Amino acid sequence: MNKPIYNILPEYSDHFDWYNFSKNPGAIHILERNIDKINWAGLSCNPAAIYLLEKNQDKIYWYGLSSNPAAVHILEKNQDKIDWPQLSLNKNPDAIKLLEKNIQKLFVWDYLPKNPSAIHLIKKNMYKIKVLRLSSNPNAIPLLIEDQTIPIDWPWLSSNPNATPILEKNQDKIDWSYLSQNTNPIAISWLEQNLDKINWYYLSSNPAAVHILEKNKDKVRMIAVSNPTAFRLLFQLDYVQMKQQNCDFKEELCKYIFNPERLDKMANNVGIDLHDYLELY
């Protein structure tokens, strides 16, 4: 079946953000139709674009690719091009294994605390990391609860989908801008009850908030192009092209439906004259 064809809404076309749109794994079918507009730095981060990157390795931005969880097999073959701090953000467990084998190359530890796949590595290197960044790590919540000497960064914690039990007990410390990024259904319900506190830029990038964005289209920001569930709010369906795209299918379907042998057989199956059967159409 042919995929829907989208066009950018006129009010966004002059300043469309192709960098963030190229990062969007949900938009790959549109990017395929606009190869000349792809931002390859953004696409290098896109886990759904590996086949395009493999065909265009001269256009790869290795900085972005190093954090791409679907690109580990490419990175393993090009270890001299890896950006190791960016690799420490890569959530693929195989990327973490690659990092552990080359831990001496990790000269910046700032990003590792944010990686939910690297908890075991974080625990071994607590003295090297910026512990405040653990507040943004979904899998670090047990660590924060167990060791209350670890300071909490409340803005980052507000964005953490696993932190709602802590946030619920400390609602005066919630940062509503960062909460606008939180994908947890409980956090989304708080946002729905406090629309005046929402940061619409951050909410526009939140894949769990599309139903709120749909009701507030005038507040949707351009960053929505990076959102797999909400980017369509900046587009309109191109019905003319879709109709043309389906012409061959329509012709083929009509040939099948109105095939004389098929119609005669169908009429016989229901026990009526062919002429009477055609009247039903």
Same domain? 254 vs 230: no
Same domain flag for 137 and 171: yes
**Predicted local distance difference test score (pLDDT) of residue 265:** 76
Separation between Cα atoms, residue 16 and residue 77, nearest integer Å:
34
**pLDDT for 217 beyond 90:** yes
User: The domain containing residue 189 runs over which residues?
Assistant: 130-236
Answer yes or no: is 48 within a domain: no
Look at residue 116 and tell me whether its pLDDT is greater than 70. Answer: yes
Q: What is the pLDDT of residue 246?
A: 57
Where is average pLDDT lowest: 129-138, 219-228, 237-246? 237-246
| Token pair listed for 232 | 């369509």
Tell me what pLDDT residue 7 has: 82
As beta bridge partners, residue 237 has 6
Residue 30 belongs to some domain of the structure:
no
Tell me what the pLDDT averaged over the chain comes to.
Answer: 91
Task: For residue 268, give Cα distances in angstroms to 41, 110, 274.
Answer: 62, 75, 8
* In a shared domain, residues 140 and 226: yes
Tell me the C-alpha to C-alpha distance, in Å, between residue 49 and each of 7, 16, 27. 20, 20, 10
* pTM attached to this predicted model: 0.82
What mean pLDDT do residues 162-176 have?
97
Task: Answer yes or no: do 181 and 203 share one domain.
Answer: yes
Query: Does residue 222 contact residue 17 with C-beta atoms inside 8 Å?
Result: yes
Is 111 part of a structural domain of the chain? no
37 inside domain: no
Question: Could you read off the pLDDT of 123-157 as tens digits, one per residue?
Answer: 999 999 999 999 999 999 999 999 999 999 999 99
Domain assignment present for 76 = no
Q: 188 with 270, same domain? A: no
- The number of angstroms, rounded, from the C-alpha of 128 to the middle of its chain's C-alpha atoms is 31
Residues 185 and 266 in one domain: no
